[in-house]
Amino acid sequence: MKKELAKTYDPKDIEERLYQKWMDKNYFHAKVDKSKKPFTIVIPPPNITGQLHMGHALDNTMQDIIIRLKRMQGYNTLWQPGTDHASIATEVKIIEQLRKEGIEKEDLGREGFLDRAWQWKEEYGGRIISQLKKLGSSCDWERERFTMDEGCSDAVLEVFVKLYEEGYIYKGSKIINWCPVCQTTISDAEVEHEEKAGHFWHIKYPIAGEDGFVEVATTRPETMLGDTAVAVHPEDERYQHLIGKKVILPLLNKEIPVIADTYVDKEFGTGVVKITPAHDPNDFEVGKRHNLPEINVMNNDATINENGGKYAGMDRYEARKQMVRDLEELGLLVKVKDHVHNVGMHDRCNTTVEPLVKQQWFVKMDELIKPAVEAVKSGEIQFVPERFDKIYFNWTDNIRDWCISRQLWWGHRIPAYYCDGCGEIIIAKEEPSRCTKCGHTTLRQDEDTLDTWFSSALWPFSTLGWPDKTEDLDYFYPTDVLVTGYDIIFFWVIRMVFSGYKQMGEKPFSKVLIHGLIRDSQGRKMSKSLGNGIDPLEIIDKYGADALRLSLVTGNAPGNDMRFYWERVEASRNFANKVWNASRFIMMNLEKADIGETIDEKLLTVADKWILSKANTLVKEATENLETFELGIAVQKIYDFIWEEFCDWYIEMVKPRLYSETDETKAAALWTLKHVLTISLKLLHPYMPFVTEEIFCTLQEMSGQNNEESIMISQWPVYNSNREYDKESEAVELIKEAVKGIRNVRTEMNVPPSRKATVIVVSDNDKIRDIFTESKVFFATLGYANEVLIQKDKAGIPEDAVSTVIPGAVIYIPFADLVDIEKEIERLTKEKQRLEGELKRVNGMLSNPNFVNKAPESKLAEERAKQEKYTDMMRQVTERLEQLSN
Known binding residues: 528
What CA–CA distance (Å, rounded) separates 736 from 779?
Answer: 9
What CA–CA distance (Å, rounded) separates 804 from 596?
Answer: 42
What CA–CA distance (Å, rounded) separates 186 from 403?
Answer: 9
- Could you tell me the end-to-end alpha-carbon distance of the chain, in angstroms, rounded to an integer? 64
Cβ neighbours of residue 700 under 8 Å, at least 6 residues apart? 706, 707, 708, 709
What CA–CA distance (Å, rounded) separates 744 from 738?
Answer: 10
Pairing label, strands 272-275, 82-83? unpaired
Q: Of 216, 186, 188, 211, nearest to 201 (Cα)?
A: 216
What CA–CA distance (Å, rounded) separates 344 from 193?
Answer: 4
Report the binding-site residues for ATP. 528
The residues pairing with 39 across neighbouring beta strands, listed in sequence order, are 77
Element (H, E) at 571: helix 566-590
Cβ neighbours of residue 113 under 8 Å, at least 6 residues apart? 94, 105, 409, 410
For the chain, give the number of residues: 886
Cβ neighbours of residue 417 under 8 Å, at least 6 residues apart? 425, 426, 427, 428, 431, 432, 443, 444, 445, 446
What CA–CA distance (Å, rounded) separates 60 from 43?
Answer: 8
Q: Of 719, 809, 729, nearest to 761 (Cα)?
A: 809
Cβ neighbours of residue 730 under 8 Å, at least 6 residues apart? none
What backbone torsions phi and psi does residue 784 show, to the nearest 5 degrees?
Answer: 50, 45
For residue 590, the SS3 value is helix
What CA–CA distance (Å, rounded) separates 782 from 656?
Answer: 10
Q: Could you check whether the bond before residue 355 is cis, i.e. omega within 30 degrees of 0? A: no
Amino acid at 97: Q
Element (H, E) at 157: helix 150-165
Secondary structure E strands in 535-599: 562-563
For residue 692, the SS3 value is helix
Contact (CB, 8 A) for 442 and 430: no
Q: Of 205, 180, 219, 150, nearest to 315 (Cα)?
A: 180
Contact (CB, 8 A) for 214 and 249: no
Contact (CB, 8 A) for 438 and 131: no
Pairing label, strands 254-260, 246-249? antiparallel
Cβ neighbours of residue 625 under 8 Å, at least 6 residues apart? 631, 633, 634, 637
Classify burial at 870, counting beta carbons within 10 Å of its beta carbon; exposed 0-12, middle 13-18, buried 19 or more. buried
Amino acid at 199: H
Answer positive or negative: Cα dihedral of 104, 105, 106, 108: positive
Contact (CB, 8 A) for 430 and 166: no
The residues pairing with 485 across neighbouring beta strands, listed in sequence order, are 515
